[in-house]
Amino acid sequence: MDESQHNDAVGATEPEQPEIPSLISRLLGIFLSPGKVMETVARHPLWAGALVVGVLLVALQTALIPFDMIMSAQRQAVLESGRDMPEMPETLMNIMRFVTPVLATIGVSLLTFISAGLYWLIFAFVLGDEGRYRQYLAVGAHALFVPAMIGVALVPLKIMTEDPQATLNLGLFLFFLSDGYWADVFRLMDLTGIWSALIIAQGAHSIDPRRSFGSAAAIMIGITLAFALIFAIFQP
């Protein structure tokens, strides 16, 4: 057998490596087939491209909302809390129009890295699952696409209602609750955040199949609820 025949025989016995879907295919798949995307991400933890797209979408939705409307909402919140908000100089206002999207980009990036560390700590260290930090980072970066994309779609609604903080949250379905702690808890539970948490649960299952999706989903929803319970304490 000559060398070419030998190489053909070896190539025939080696399993063909599956092609890694493109970034666009993976991001679209987050909506259409998240299970397949998470299986791919678990095997090939590519995170940089997904994170860049996610934070750019967050910066875009921040930039599309008129800064005057953001400041007006903040001023109203301060006044309702019984405090006075000093007027901001025009020069500083103009600077903040450009700085705010940048700060949003930095904030979301840091939050993604920190959240991945939290998932890694809970699933890999506390619960004993398999997985590396990079895998959970890739899962979180891809899951970010859901709230980032829907956030852009909600910009017209925020402008029409003049409420830059408007979200799709559980509180919208529990309108019969009177204002108070529990109403704030459910308002803080954004539906896109819950959707993203379920995608991360699917990712945890894909990283270590011993962890069922149902178990991972219960853990992620529990984390989401815990944060809402904590942050609701500080609502004005």
User: In this predicted structure, what is the pLDDT of residue 112?
Assistant: 95
Q: Is 219's pLDDT higher than 60?
A: yes
Tokens of 206: 């894909």
Band of pLDDT at residue 77, cut at 50, 70 and 90 = low
User: In this predicted structure, what is the pLDDT of residue 152?
Assistant: 92
Tokens of 140: 């979180």
Best CA proximity match to 129, nearest among 144, 119, 143, 138: 119
For residue 208, what are the CA distances in angstroms to 20, 144, 185, 202? 20, 21, 32, 10
Rounded Cα distance, 4 and 56, in Å: 49
In contact, 36 and 29? CB cutoff 8 Å: yes
Q: Is 166's pLDDT higher than 50?
A: yes
Q: Given phi > 0 = left and psi -120 to 50 = alpha, else beta, which region is 180? A: left
Decide: pTM greater than 0.75: yes
